[in-house]
Homo-oligomer: A and B are copies of this chain.
Amino acid sequence: MTTPAHPLLIVGSIAFDDLDMPSGEHRDVLGGAATYSSLAASQLARGGVRVVGIVGTDFPEAHLEGLRTRGIDTAGVERAQGKTFRWHGRYSSDLASRTSLDTQLNVFADFSPKIPAAYRSSPFVLLGNIHPKLQLDVLDQVQKPRLVVADTMNFWISGEPTALAQMLARIDLLVINDEEARQLSGIHNLVRAAADIRKRGPSMLIVKRGEFGALLFDESGTFFVPAYPLEEVLDPTGAGDSFAGGLLGYLAARGEVTASTLRKALYFAASLGSFCVEGIGPSRLLSLTRSELGARIAAFARLVDHGGELSLPG
């Protein structure tokens, strides 16, 4: 394998998920933001994905080996005494909402990301949804990345506003959902919420809206990517993380961040998100082939192809 030119560093959770789905109950499912993001990214940035996370002694080496066979570097995954982070969630019958039944942080409670020396020059960095102080710790350890992307959540927005503000000032692109954008800005209208958030640091903002697609706000204006319409959705868990991983994977593969590559990257992000929800846990990402991804991207292009110029009729 050739050395990838533009490695991607992903920091985030690795977990066991217990999933109560309308279709049945699933236990000990491989989960966590870093897992989904790295699997999605590895479809595009082959051999160039590096993961930093923490697992307990109960975490099967086979799971890490599964990541490695997809070209993901797991040397940054720390194994600590104790149990792996575990989340138990129940989804509504239409999968539109979910309830957290139990969250056991376990070894994740003391997670303090240590970026291996070999990772510190990674030009692309994805900071998964962890404490903003830890996100800042990561940024203190890396050397001038070309692109820093971060996720966050309502828990940190309300509970850690100071650390969050410091984090926002140091990143290039924030990827959050619509409710988080509204909470962070205090503004309901997403166009105005985006303008407010972009003043706080990130020059680029992506607002995810689940099955309703995503909006990008950057210096070139506003861009929209739909969600790919699926006949069957099995499990939304990890869709947002797969979206972020697909986004970064494409940008890392291309090695540049321009208005144009970013807009194309959003289609790869949405494609990886669409595959994620087709299987329980990360199963569909694990079985995904390059030709399947290529076919979906082509179908996606047809979905939005309005045939060229839109002009007023005479």
CA distance A223 to B228 in the complex (A): 10
- Give residues of chain A (211-259) contacting chain B, Cβ–Cβ below 8 Å: 212-213, 215, 221-226, 229-233, 250, 253-254
**Contact status A301-B310, CB under 8 Å:** yes
Whether a CB of chain B sits under 8 angstroms from the CB of A199 is no
Residue in B209, B297, B306, B312 whose beta carbon sits within 8 Å of that of A290 in the complex: B312
- Whether A101 sits at the interface, judged by CB under 8 Å, is no
Task: Say whether A94 faces chain B, with CB atoms less than 8 Å apart.
Answer: yes
Q: Report whether B254 and A226 are in contact in the complex, using a CB–CB cutoff of 8 Å.
A: no
Interface pair B215/A213, CB less than 8 Å apart? no
- Which chain B residue shows the least CB distance to A233? B189
Q: In the assembled complex, which residues on chain B have CB atoms less than 8 Å from the CB atom of A165?
A: none
| Residues A297 and B313 in contact, CB atoms below 8 Å apart | no
Beyond A189-B233, A229-B191, A313-B253, is A304–B212 a contact (Cβ under 8 Å)?
Answer: no
By Cβ-Cβ distance, the 5 closest A-B pairs, closest first, are A253-B313, A212-B212, A224-B226, A260-B307, A191-B231
Copies in the complex: 2
Contacting pair A306 B229 (CB below 8 A): no
Q: Does A293 contact B (CB under 8 A)?
A: yes
Spell out A's residues near B (CB within 8 Å). 44, 94, 188-192, 209, 212-213, 215, 221-226, 229-233, 250, 253-254, 260, 263-264, 266-268, 290, 293-294, 297-307, 309-314
* Complex CA–CA separation, A233 to B187 (angstroms): 13
Residue ID in chain B nearest A252 by CB atoms: B313
Question: Shortest Cβ distance from A196 into chain B, in angstroms?
Answer: 12
Main secondary structure of the interface of A (DSSP, over half): mixed
B312 touches A192 (CB 8 A): no
By beta carbon, the residue of chain B nearest A307 is B260
* A309 nearest CB neighbor, chain B only: B301
The 8 Å CB contact of A250, one of B212, B254, B301, B313, is B313
**Residues of chain B contacted by A225 (CB below 8 angstroms):** 306
A104 to chain B, nearest CB (A): 32
Query: Are A304 and B223 within 8 A (Cβ)?
Result: yes
Q: Which residues of B contact A290 (CB under 8 A)?
A: 312
Cα A294 to Cα B297 in complex, Å, equals: 30
Cβ contacts under 8 Å, A212 to chain B:
209, 212-213
Query: When the two chains form their complex, are residues A222 and B229 in contact, meaning their CB atoms are under 8 A apart?
Result: yes
Q: What are 17 pairs between A and B in contact, CB < 8 Å?
A: A94-B188, A209-B212, A212-B213, A213-B213, A221-B299, A221-B303, A224-B226, A253-B314, A254-B313, A263-B305, A263-B307, A264-B306, A264-B310, A268-B310, A293-B312, A298-B310, A300-B310
Are A304 and B307 neighbours in the complex by a CB distance under 8 Å? no
> Which residues of B have CB within 8 Å of A190?
229
Supplied contacts A94-B188, A213-B226, A223-B306, 11 more A-B pairs, CB within 8 Å:
A44-B312, A189-B230, A189-B232, A215-B229, A222-B229, A223-B305, A225-B306, A253-B313, A264-B306, A267-B306, A300-B310
Question: Which of A223, A253, A268 counts the most B-chain CB atoms under 10 A from its CB?
Answer: A223
